[in-house]
């Protein structure tokens, strides 16, 4: 059915189409009869996974960026996801970059976005996460700094967010790898990253001592790091006691694209990112020998893509652009194909 509807959706501006889809998913999540109906449409086998000290009902998750403000995650859970990552969330509301800022590249099965962390801010998202949680769902929150926060003060933004969301989320991911906030990726450099993670890990440990709940901290990395930069970032994450990694965010590379939109600035996601994300997944899993469980994301558009990441050593996978091109059945197709 989605393949028949997709041409109609693709006639709409990409950001408008996304907003309409998210509105529909919010309705699904708010109405138990619709939740039950959609869940029956997309049944999933039980494929439990242990990672970061958490139990996941299956290894397939939704990547950050799809539900930035936590509006539709209850409806999205009906598609069969084992985990959903909300965000990126910033401490204060911000508009993001000017529109247009999201582009489809159908010839390449890809998207380019230069959204710039638009959102309603941490307090709004926290309200959306309160209340009923779908059974068995693991909920993550992706954290980023405000655009106008100087880089040297970025740690304070992340610290505020960790304090707010550690009680509400199952895990937190630290986003220092988006290409759409000026200077943000500089926080992946060895010294800057070490200083940032020192503060956040200390806060994680303090909060866990104050309560019976330990909220894992994950680090999300860019695909455009050199080998030396990647080695530094992984080593820092190991030394600082991070709970896991997410690889990868979107890329600035444009090799081999065919779409007329290929020259747009921003982060590229989808099929062109698959090879690099798989390479990084394999390298990290070999390098860490399981000490840092990994979520692999980037270019997963089919069950075969997902299985390849799991066979490369990833504990979990995430999709985003795959939903746009393959449709809402993708999570259940992946889960039900895994053996």
CATH number of 2-337: 3.20.20.70
What's the chain's average pLDDT? 94
Q: What is the pLDDT of residue 175?
A: 93
Catalytic annotation, pick one of 177, 178, 277, 332: 178
Please enumerate in sequence order all residues whose Cβ is within 8 A of that of 113, keeping only pairs 6 or more positions apart, or say none: 65, 101, 102, 103, 180, 250, 266, 267, 269
Q: Regarding beta strands 171-175 and 138-143, do their DSSP bridges make them parallel or antiparallel, or are they unpaired?
A: parallel
Residue 16's CB is within 10 A of a number of other CB atoms, namely: 12
Distance CA 195, CA 126 (A): 27
For the entire predicted model, the pTM comes to 0.95
Annotated catalytic residue 178: yes
**23 touches 300 (CB < 8 A):** no
**CA–CA distance, 241 with 330 (Å, rounded to integer):** 34
Check: CB of residue 162 under 8 Å from CB of residue 203. yes
Reported as a single tens digit per residue, the pLDDT across 139-180 is 999 999 999 999 999 999 999 999 999 999 999 999 998 887
Task: State the pLDDT confidence band at 188, using cuts at 50, 70 and 90.
Answer: confident
Domains in the chain: boundaries? 2-337
Alpha-carbon distance values, 150 to 156, 193, 233 (Å): 10, 15, 21
């Amino acid at each position: 059915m989605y393949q028949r509807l997709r041409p109609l959706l693709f006639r709409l501006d990409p950001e408008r189409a996304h907003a309409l889809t998210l509105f529909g998913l919010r309705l699904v999540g708010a109405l138990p009869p619709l939740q039950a109906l959609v869940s029956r449409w997309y049944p999933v086998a039980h494929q439990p996974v242990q990672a970061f000290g958490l139990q996941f009902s299956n290894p397939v998750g939704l990547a950050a960026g799809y539900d930035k403000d936590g509006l539709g995650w209850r409806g999205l859970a009906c598609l069969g996801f084992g985990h959903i990552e909300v965000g990126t969330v910033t401490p204060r509301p911000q508009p993001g970059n000017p529109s247009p800022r999201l582009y489809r590249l159908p010839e390449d099965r890809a998207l380019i976005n230069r959204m710039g962390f638009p959102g309603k801010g941490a307090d709004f998202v926290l309200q959306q996460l309160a209340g009923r949680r779908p059974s068995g769902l693991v909920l993550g929150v992706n954290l980023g700094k405000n655009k106008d926060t100087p880089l040297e003060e970025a740690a304070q933004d992340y610290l505020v967010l960790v304090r707010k969301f550690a009680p509400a989320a199952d895990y937190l991911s630290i986003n220092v790898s988006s290409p759409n906030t000026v200077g943000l990726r500089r926080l992946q450099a060895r010294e800057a990253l070490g200083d940032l993670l020192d503060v956040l890990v200390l806060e994680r440990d303090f909060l866990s001592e104050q309560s019976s709940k330990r909220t894992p901290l994950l680090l999300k990395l860019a695909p455009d790091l050199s080998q030396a930069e990647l080695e530094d970032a992984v080593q820092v994450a190991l030394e600082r006691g991070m709970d896991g990694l997410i690889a990868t965010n979107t890329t600035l590379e444009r090799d081999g694209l065919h779409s007329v939109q290929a020259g747009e600035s921003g982060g590229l996601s989808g099929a062109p990112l698959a090879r690099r994300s798989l390479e990084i997944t394999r390298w990290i899993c070999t390098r860490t020998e399981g000490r840092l469980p990994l979520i692999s994301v980037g270019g997963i558009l089919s069950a075969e893509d997902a299985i390849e990441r799991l066979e490369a050593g990833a504990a979990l996978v995430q999709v985003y652009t795959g939903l746009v091109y393959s449709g809402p059945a993708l999570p259940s197709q992946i889960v039900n194909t895994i053996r």
